[in-house]
Amino acid sequence: MKLLHRKRTNAGLTLIEVTLVVAVLLGLIGVIFIGATSYKEGSNRSMCILHISQLQKGVRAYQNLYQKNFGDSCPQSVIVGAGKMIEVAPTCPSGGTYTWLGTIPPLDTAYLTCSLASARDHQPRNTLGW
């Protein structure tokens, strides 16, 4: 009778295979972090533009309600506060500062601008009809 000798192989991964798997996983994690950062910045930009738009609507509502003309005084205290057009003063989610115009702006001109308008594009692409 013939005996079969089976060669015993060790189960598992070699050091090179483990290193390769770890490198691929680290690469994927890096891509996820880059994507999350980009998503967060885009979200902050959209929120900033939304604040500018909402405040513009509040200024136009104030202008229509009190029959104000372009160039008339319109300080922040008239627009923002309890019981006013905007309840709470907006803040830029990316840490920028807002500059208030202080007068009723002409058409197509924003009342509020963000300090990150040029650096991070925190400005509306089109203010036509504002």
Q: Give the closest residue to 63 by CA, choosing from 98, 106, 99, 100.
A: 106
- Distance, in Å, from the CA atom of 129 to the CA atom of 40, rounded to the nearest integer, reads 29
Give residue-wise pLDDT tens across range 63-122: 999 999 999 999 999 999 999 999 999 999 999 999 999 999 999 999 999 999 988 889
Contact 45, 119 (CB under 8 A): no
Say what the pTM is: 0.76
| Beta strand residue intervals within 1-130, DSSP E | 98-100, 112-114
pLDDT band at 1 (very low <50, low <70, confident <90, very high): low
Contact 92, 98 (CB under 8 A): yes
Res 8 pLDDT > 80: no
Local structure of residue 112 (DSSP, 8 states): E
Enumerate the domain spans of the chain: 15-114
